């Protein structure tokens, strides 16, 4: 044992040195292009290779399942039941028609069979409703070698397990430390850079520097997550004096958008690391941070945003009107606050590809740190960003209609389902006023006819 | 290796549930997935509140009656087998159900009679086997909310009970209910098809 000692320390030293050199080379190789906004296309190549491997993995699992004569559990993203979209009136009329043999020139007021409509609709929502599934991660149709997304464990062959093990090794022992190092660099550069810029006198040079410091650090963070982003229609990018609205899936949305443009952030003041970052950022250029108590005061919020927007020298505001993270299969109700301000709205649609790593932040399940770790141990974050043409509120539209119009445009572009439900349903129950709509519709059917009858 | 997998082995008593409800293995997997999505606190059973959280159900005028049907006899929890047993009423009727059924076996849950029975108990609030005029009024009130006056509703309830009531006891029994709907295509109107 004593003879091995000198050898041991030599080997350990060599290993240590070579690892450090490798690491530093990698860091430099990644950070320098980030500073200049250049890309070597390595990430795209990585993405293509991964896709091929995933397709192979799913085929193996299907084969494994066939051998055992079972069916693979395939999740359906569009709902598990067959529905036909008919209105309340049409369906009840059809039910009545199928039940009675007499000619229906005079629609009867009420039939015992009317209950079938409500009963079936209710059961359909119990089996599958539009909202509940938006608050859990999207299910994949093919496996991406992450244990967190596998539904068919019993069909994994030995080869597949080995591949999975290799994947774990690569992700946790190589990619994760690299990414953490990059993230650390990025965040510290941001804090240091913006603080330094903050000492400069106000003027064009300061603005220029602050923009570029922000941009550089966001780019490093993008590489820290191995985010492969495709931007579309970049000519529509938000300009000063405007408001940029986007659908919200995770806190990473901010990094993705801010690495391709200059924005002023809006948000609540946090403590801890986030607070440090926020305080540093605001030294370099004006962001809008609210105290916790101010957030409740809608007028104050609107006033500060309006002031910011009116100053054409300030950067466009970035806002996520859904108010909460949705799982990127749908867009939920936009809160009307940002649409009342009267500035030009630049809608942006963000669609993640869940194959490489699910970016959705399920805040009821994971805290921020767990979420970031999960992100950094996924393969990559792949997404597409579409900049939609700017819109302004029309004269005859109110804020809610305007918000819905923007929401539909974003949903259409991103291929997401456009829902009228409030994202707040994640935590609260729906209001009773919506039930009245249904009741009104039904009452018109049975009482409207009653009045006709009594008249004739 | 991850706790989100949905395996057939995880469903307790999957074979007896399959026999009782007639759902295929694939359908049961989907429903089990759905059951666990609704069971937010991972209790292993559903309470009334879990079902009330479904937005689209809360706006259904008969939402509460439908939720009640999952909790017969005043129970406060429903486990997966109870959950699926109720949903089985809405399984579409297929050929193998009506063809060569063993008459000694109990009727399948999705038979025409059982579907009618399910609809009947939505009306029959006190589960006494009859829909009284008062119960009819209460259910009607649920469906129309505040939009209709008491007199109009009473006249509608009176007329409906009169038309269906054959033995003149002032209430609609299950057989009278079934008779008044004998021409209805129940199979289609009370069936929900689960995608394979």
Mean pLDDT, residues B28-53: 86
What is the pLDDT confidence band of residue A251, given thresholds at 50, 70 and 90? confident
B102 within domain boundaries: no
Q: How far apart are CA B152 and CA B129, in angstroms?
A: 26
Give the one of B38, B181, B185 whose C-beta lies nearest to A112's C-beta.
B181
The CATH code of the domain that includes B120 is: 1.10.238.10
Does the beta-carbon distance from B190 to A148 stay under 8 Å?
no
- The mean pLDDT of chain A is 81
Does the beta-carbon distance from A98 to B63 stay under 8 Å?
no
What is the pLDDT confidence band of residue A55, given thresholds at 50, 70 and 90? confident
Is the domain of B76 the same as that of B115?
no
Does the beta-carbon distance from A126 to B61 stay under 8 Å?
no
Closest residue in B to A168 (Cα) is: B1
Is the domain of B126 the same as that of B76?
no
Is the domain of B49 the same as that of B115?
no
What is the pLDDT confidence band of residue A4, given thresholds at 50, 70 and 90? low
pLDDT over threshold 60, residue A220: yes
CA distance B53 to chain A (A): 6
What is the pLDDT confidence band of residue A71, given thresholds at 50, 70 and 90? low
Is the domain of B144 the same as that of B180?
yes
| Chain A residues whose beta carbon lies within 8 Å of the beta carbon of residue B183 | 98-101
Give the one of A100, A150, A444 whose C-beta lies nearest to B2's C-beta.
A150
Mean pLDDT, residues A294-300: 79
> Is A89 an 8 Å CB contact of chain B?
no
| Chain B residues whose beta carbon lies within 8 Å of the beta carbon of residue A101 | 183
Domain carrying residue B25? 12-89
Is the domain of B178 the same as that of B128?
yes
B103 within domain boundaries: no
Q: Worst-scoring range by mean pLDDT, A69-73, A409-413, B142-146?
A: A69-73
Is the domain of B74 the same as that of B136?
no
Q: How far apart are CA B49 and CA B28, in angstroms?
A: 23
CA distance B128 to chain A (A): 18
Widest pairwise Cα distance in chain A: 112
| Chain B residues whose beta carbon lies within 8 Å of the beta carbon of residue A443 | 144-145, 147-148
The model's pTM is 0.73
Is the domain of B116 the same as that of B69?
no
What is the tens place of the pLDDT at every residue in A315-328? Answer: 899 999 888 888 88
> Is B125 an 8 Å CB contact of chain A?
no
Give the one of A100, A126, A421 whose C-beta lies nearest to B57's C-beta.
A126
> ipTM of this predicted complex?
0.87
Is the domain of B124 the same as that of B64?
no
B118 within domain boundaries: yes
Closest residue in A to B6 (Cα) is: A151
Domain boundary among B58, B89, B120: B89
CB pairs under 8 A between A and B: 193
What is the tens place of the pLDDT at every residue in A72-103? Answer: 666 666 667 777 777 777 777 777 777 665 54
Is the domain of B115 the same as that of B182?
yes
pLDDT over threshold 70, residue B96: no
Domain boundary among B23, B57, B89: B89
Q: Is the dihedral of CA A77, B46, A119, B53 positive or negative?
A: negative
Higher pLDDT, A71 or B32: B32
Given this model, what pLDDT does residue B101 score? 60
What is the pLDDT confidence band of residue A153, given thresholds at 50, 70 and 90? low
CA distance B99 to chain A (A): 24
Given this model, what pLDDT does residue A384 score? 92
Mean pLDDT, residues A430-446: 77
Does the beta-carbon distance from B66 to A126 stay under 8 Å?
yes
Is the domain of B27 the same as that of B75?
yes
Given this model, what pLDDT does residue A245 score? 93
Given this model, what pLDDT does residue A349 score? 94
B59 within domain boundaries: yes
Query: In total, how many domains does chain B have?
Result: 2
Given this model, what pLDDT does residue B1 score? 35
Is the domain of B37 the same as that of B82?
yes
B27 within domain boundaries: yes
B3 within domain boundaries: no
B180 within domain boundaries: yes
Is the domain of B76 the same as that of B119?
no
pLDDT over threshold 70, residue A453: no
Domain boundary among B36, B56, B89: B89
B17 within domain boundaries: yes
């Amino acid at each position: 044992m004593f003879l091995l000692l000198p050898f041991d320390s030599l080997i350990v030293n060599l290993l240590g040195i070579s690892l450090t050199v490798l690491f530093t080379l990698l860091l430099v190789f990644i950070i320098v292009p980030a500073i200049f906004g250049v890309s070597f296309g390595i990430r795209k190549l990585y993405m293509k290779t991964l896709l091929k491997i995933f397709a192979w993995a799913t085929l193996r699992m299907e084969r494994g399942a066939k051998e055992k004569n079972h069916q693979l559990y395939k999740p359906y993203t569009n709902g598990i039941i067959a529905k036909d979209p008919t209105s309340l009136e049409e369906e009840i009329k059809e039910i009545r028609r199928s039940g009675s043999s007499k000619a229906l020139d005079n629609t009867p007021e009420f039939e015992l069979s009317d209950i079938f409509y409500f009963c079936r609709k209710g059961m359909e929502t119990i089996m599958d409703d539009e909202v509940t599934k938006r608050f859990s991660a999207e299910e994949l149709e093919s496996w991406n070698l992450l244990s967190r997304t596998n539904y068919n464990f019993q069909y994994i062959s030995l080869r597949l397990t080995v591949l999975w093990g290799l994947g774990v090794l690569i992700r946790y022992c190589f990619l994760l430390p690299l990414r953490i190092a990059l993230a650390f660099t990025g965040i510290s550069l941001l804090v240091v850079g913006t603080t330094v810029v903050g000492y400069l006198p106000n003027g064009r040079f300061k603005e220029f520097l602050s923009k570029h410091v922000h941009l550089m650090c966001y780019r490093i963070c993008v590489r820290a997550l191995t985010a492969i982003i495709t931007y579309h229609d970049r000519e529509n990018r938000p300009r000063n004096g405007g408001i940029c609205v986007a659908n919200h899936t995770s806190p990473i949305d901010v990094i993705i958008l801010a690495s391709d443009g200059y924005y002023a952030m809006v948000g609540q003041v946090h403590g801890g690391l986030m607070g440090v970052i926020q305080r540093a950022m605001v030294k370099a250029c004006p962001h809008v941070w609210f105290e916790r108590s101010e957030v409740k005061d809608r007028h104050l919020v609107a006033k500060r945003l309006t002031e910011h927007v009116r100053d054409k020298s300030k950067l466009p505001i970035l806002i996520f009107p859904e108010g909460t993270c949705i799982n990127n299969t749908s867009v939920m109700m936009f809160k009307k606050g940002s649409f009342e301000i009267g500035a030009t709205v630049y809608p942006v649609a963000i669609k993640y590809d869940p194959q490489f790593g699910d970016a959705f932040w399920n805040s009821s399940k994971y805290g921020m740190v767990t979420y970031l770790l999960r992100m950094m141990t996924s393969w990559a974050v792949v997404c597409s960003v579409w900049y939609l043409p700017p819109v302004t509120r029309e004269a005859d539209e109110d804020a809610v209609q305007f918000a819905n119009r923007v929401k539909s445009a974003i949903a259409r572009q991103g291929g997401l389902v456009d829902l009228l439900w409030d994202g707040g349903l994640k935590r609260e129950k729906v209001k009773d006023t919506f039930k009245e709509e249904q009741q009104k519709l039904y009452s018109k059917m049975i009482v409207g006819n009653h009045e006709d009858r009594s008249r004739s | 290796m991850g706790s989100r997998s949905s395996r057939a082995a995880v469903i307790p008593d999957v074979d007896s549930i399959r026999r009782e409800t007639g759902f295929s293995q694939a359908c049961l997997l989907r429903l089990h997935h759905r059951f666990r999505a609704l069971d937010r606190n991972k209790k292993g059973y559903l309470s009334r509140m879990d079902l009330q959280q479904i937005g689209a159900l809360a706006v259904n005028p008969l939402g509460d009656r439908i939720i009640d049907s999952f909790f017969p006899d005043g129970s406060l929890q429903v486990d997966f087998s109870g959950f699926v047993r109720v949903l089985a009423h809405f399984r579409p009727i297929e050929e193998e159900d009506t063809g060569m059924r063993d008459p000694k076996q109990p009727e399948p849950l999705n038979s025409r009679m059982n579907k009618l029975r399910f609809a009947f108990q939505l009306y029959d609030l006190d589960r006494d086997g009859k829909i009284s005029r008062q119960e009819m009024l209460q259910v009607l009130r649920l469906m129309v909310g505040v939009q209709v006056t008491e007199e109009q509703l009473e006249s509608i309830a009176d007329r409906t009970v009169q038309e269906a009531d054959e033995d003149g006891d002032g209430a609609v029994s299950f057989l009278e209910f079934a008779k008044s709907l004998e021409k209805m295509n129940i199979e289609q109107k009370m069936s929900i098809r689960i995608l394979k």
